[in-house]
Amino acid sequence: MLAVEHVSKVYPATRRGGDVLALRDITFEVPAGQFIAIVGPSGCGKSTLLNLVAGIDTPSAGAIRLDGRLVERPGPDRGIMFQQYVLFPWMTVRTNVEFGPRSRGEPRARCAEIADRYLALVGLDGVADRYPHELSGGMQQRCALARVLANDPVVLLMDEPLAAVDAQTRAILQEELLDIWGERKDPAARKTVLFVTHAIDEAVFLADRILVLGRKPGRLIADLEDDLDRPRLGVRRTPGFGERVDAIWGLLHDQAAEATRQLDGGS
């Protein structure tokens, strides 16, 4: 169980202004194995929230607990993926995936076994000896996912991991992500996932629940069950899919428009 308990985050004043309240009184719980999507307009604190759960940053108020233990720093029980691929360019695909197990002191043979397993899982076993610059964007993100999974984290924290690839590749990777997560398998074997995205349709396609954040300050304005049937392949063509997308867009439209005006320098 992941528990976020009345979490707020304040960034200290800078020369240009006063303190910035990025998140205010965020509370939710995530049972083990659930896939959570987090959506909201630009500037609502989605990435900040993920960084707090990762232990990269600390709350100004409230607490985050994983299985009852207070989250105070990064740890191997939480694996994080970013929009950028963040691969080591001087390492091969295989050695990128082996990095975590090697850092833990696993024997060389065990590291190779782990890498083989997860490269096969993400469909990269045929390119294990290539370097990141030799791969397409989609393949690089598969490598990043294999590297995270090789550490066997309890929770996967994913900050717009598919935003940098083209639309067709993104749709394929969404399906592959659900397959790797275990959509067709025993729910008890699934990882817990927090997945940040700007794309409402992506959230509806992937998630069991969707957390909707409002902006200035970031706050939880809706916690929605997404009970579309699994597996989700083909679900985009159903009326229920479009209804859920429209409902969430209705919650966010005005705030997203305001965020866009501010980014464009409008009043």
198-235 pLDDT per residue, tens: 999 999 999 999 999 998 889 999 999 999 999 999 99
Model pLDDT for residues 94-120, shown as the tens digit of each residue:
999 999 999 889 999 999 999 999 999
Residue 159 region, left (φ>0) first, then alpha (ψ -120 to 50), else beta?
beta
| Residue 264 pLDDT grade (very low, low, confident, very high; cuts 50, 70, 90) | low
Residue 28 is predicted with a pLDDT of 97
pLDDT attached to residue 91:
95
Burial readout 237-251 (b: 16 or more C-beta within 10 A, e: otherwise): eeeebeebbeebeeb
Domain end call among 95, 118, 152: 152
- Indicate whether 70 belongs to any domain: no
pTM for the structure as a whole: 0.91
What is the average pLDDT score of the chain? Answer: 91
- Res 19 pLDDT > 50: yes
**End-of-domain residue from the set 103, 134, 152:** 152
Dihedral sign for Cα 196, 202, 205, 206, please. Answer: negative
The reported pLDDT for the residue numbered 267 is 41
Q: Residue 175: phi, psi to the nearest 5?
A: -65, -40
Residues 235 and 181 in one domain: yes
Q: Are residues 136 and 193 in the same domain?
A: no
Closest CA to 160 of 197, 125, 202, 117: 197
Q: Which domain holds residue 213?
A: 2-58+155-263
Phi and psi torsions of 253, nearest 5°: -55, -55
Report the C-alpha gap between 6 and 19 in whole angstroms.
19
